[in-house]
Chain A
Amino acid sequence: MTIKGKAYIVGAYEHPTRKAVDKSLAQLHAEVAKGALDDAGLTKDDVDGYFCAGDAPGLGGLSMIDYMGLKLRHIDTTETGGSSYVIHVAHAAQAIAEGKCKVALITLAGKPRSSGEATGTKPRNYGTDSPDVAFELPFAPTIVNNYAMCARRHMYEFGTTSEQLAWIKVAASHHAQHNPNAMLRKVVTVEEVVNSPMIADPLHRLDCCVISDGGGALVVVAPEVAAELNRPKVRIIGAGEAPKHQMGGRVNLTYSAGAFSGPAAFEEAGVKPSDIKYASIYDSFTVTVLIQLEDLGFCAKGDGGKFVADGNLISGVGKLPFNTDGGGLCNNHPGNRGGMTKVIEAVRQLRGEAHPAVQVANCDLAVAHGTGGSLGTRHAAGTLILERV
């Protein structure tokens, strides 16, 4: 069954906080839920499907469902790290298409900044039951050195340069200057990026995303519900999801699961990358964007460096405006999970509600794409094609 046209995003809310010392994690989830429902013109009593991932407190979604007082027909706690919320939108559309629910609420929240978490630079232990841990953790893999290995291999195979990667950060910073909530609003140059301290070579500090508290929520509804609401309508017309891993030792770091999720989403939507007016691309690191753009088909594999250079991702300047909120590189990265904010900014663009300085003219077709986990080991990608009605 296709989800094309079967569901609409009618509510989107990004928490303005970037450091939430005095708020509980449950409170943040509830605040973004309320924000998205208010945005849609719905209430919590309208919600009959709830979606959350591993950032939600308690067992699966149960504690948040209890906290918010939801009565539901459908629950989905798919956990794929930062891409979870992109995939939740697709799953919500599937559930709605099958009649399992009519109003789906998706929430994300996290407090890594106020808890002093060394998100990218400390080895992450997923627990000794995780079969890979014994064979990886002693080598001190972190998020940043994992992605750094992807960047180095890309440079080796395709001649990609640090200066080309830097253009991704430069573009994000051009957008973030217009976002009053963004953590990093200063416009930076290629030179500033490549001269920033080396963290895990070849990735510099300014190749890395910010660490922030916060969260976001989305409301996805059936067409008959959308028809009753006054907000601009964003229709889901294509979705893809896929995992990629080490393939039993046949490691290839030059591409991601986006090579599978992207084409699936475009095929379902019946559109091409060249039709896309705006792209939200998960930017945990600059190299994450470069590899995703290639995998989604915006350029050929290996041509990402040339594609992103010279401001091609800057709204009003280049051919493919991306992450016009400043993205994870400059705006925020709530809960170390960037998929939610990718969908939210795509919704803003399609509604014509992005900041006027970065709003894409006649933005009627957008992609929101994320990967979760680590490109260097195992991850899952989600791709959404969204259209303004």
Chain B
Amino acid sequence: MTEQRTIPAPHIEEETRPFWEGVREGKLLVKYCRSCEAPHYYPRSICPHCGSDDTFFKESDGRGHIYSFSVFHAAPIPYAIAYVTLADTDISMMTNIVNCDFDSLAIGQEVKVFFAETEGDGPPMPMFEPA
């Protein structure tokens, strides 16, 4: 693989700590609402769809497809930013596509989650690689 960008560690709030504990265990947790039953991303304590505060985390299988992407050719170390739509929730999350040939990426391409190390003692970030 080509040289990898150094990934800054995310800032963790108590509100989202379960998400970060999840990725440390290799799980991608998505927040759902008990009231309207809809998933949302990024995780919030209050559902952005219906306003209920009865929300809970549920594991996604981490499979999805690329909604859109862009390879940043002008960056010192080129990288691919993307929105990936998770197959089991139908929500899209910002991410990077890694472990891939940038020239072969396409919208609709199937991908699976890959937990990428971050700086220091930070939790890994949920990125995606070709499935």
Chain A residues with a Cβ under 8 A of chain B: 121, 128, 131-142, 144-146, 148-150, 152-153, 156, 197-203, 246-251, 253, 377
**A139 B95 Cβ-Cβ under 8 A:** yes
Known: A131-B13, A249-B39. 11 other contacts (CB 8 A): A134-B11, A137-B8, A139-B81, A140-B5, A153-B67, A197-B73, A199-B73, A200-B73, A201-B70, A246-B92, A249-B93
Indicate if B100 sits at the interface (CB-CB under 8 A): no
In chain B, what residue has the closest Cβ to A134? B10
Within 8 A of A (CB), among B80-107: 81-83, 85, 89, 91-96, 107
**A137 B72 Cβ-Cβ under 8 A:** no
Q: Hey, which chain B residues are within 8 Å of A199, CB to CB?
A: 72-74
What class of interface size applies to chain B in its complex with A? 35 or more
Chain B residues with a Cβ under 8 A of chain A: 5, 7-13, 16, 38-42, 44, 47-49, 67-75, 79, 81-83, 85, 89, 91-96, 107-108, 118, 125, 127
**A149 B70 Cβ-Cβ under 8 A:** yes
Q: Hey, which chain A residues are within 8 Å of B127, CB to CB?
A: 139
**B68 A249 Cβ-Cβ under 8 A:** no
In chain A, what residue has the closest Cβ to B42? A135
Give the docked Cα–Cα distance between A146 and B69 (Å): 9
In chain B, what residue has the closest Cβ to A203? B70
**A139 B91 Cβ-Cβ under 8 A:** no
**B41 A248 Cβ-Cβ under 8 A:** yes
A selection of 30 A-B contacts at a CB cut-off of 8 Å is A121-B75, A131-B42, A133-B10, A134-B13, A135-B41, A135-B93, A135-B94, A138-B7, A138-B8, A139-B81, A140-B72, A140-B75, A140-B79, A141-B81, A141-B94, A142-B72, A144-B72, A149-B81, A152-B70, A152-B107, A197-B73, A199-B73, A200-B71, A201-B73, A246-B41, A246-B92, A248-B48, A250-B91, A251-B92, A253-B67
Q: Hey, which chain A residues are within 8 Å of B89, CB to CB?
A: 249
Give the docked Cα–Cα distance between A93 and B14 (Å): 43
Q: Hey, which chain B residues are within 8 Å of A156, CB to CB?
A: 68, 107-108
Q: Hey, which chain A residues are within 8 Å of B39, CB to CB?
A: 249
With A131-B42, A137-B10: A253-B74 Cβ-Cβ less than 8 Å? no
In chain B, what residue has the closest Cβ to A130? B11
Q: Hey, which chain B residues are within 8 Å of A146, CB to CB?
A: 81
In chain A, what residue has the closest Cβ to B93? A249
A152 is contacted by which of B68, B74, B93 (Cβ under 8 Å)?
A: B68
**B41 A249 Cβ-Cβ under 8 A:** yes
Give the docked Cα–Cα distance between A377 and B6 (Å): 23
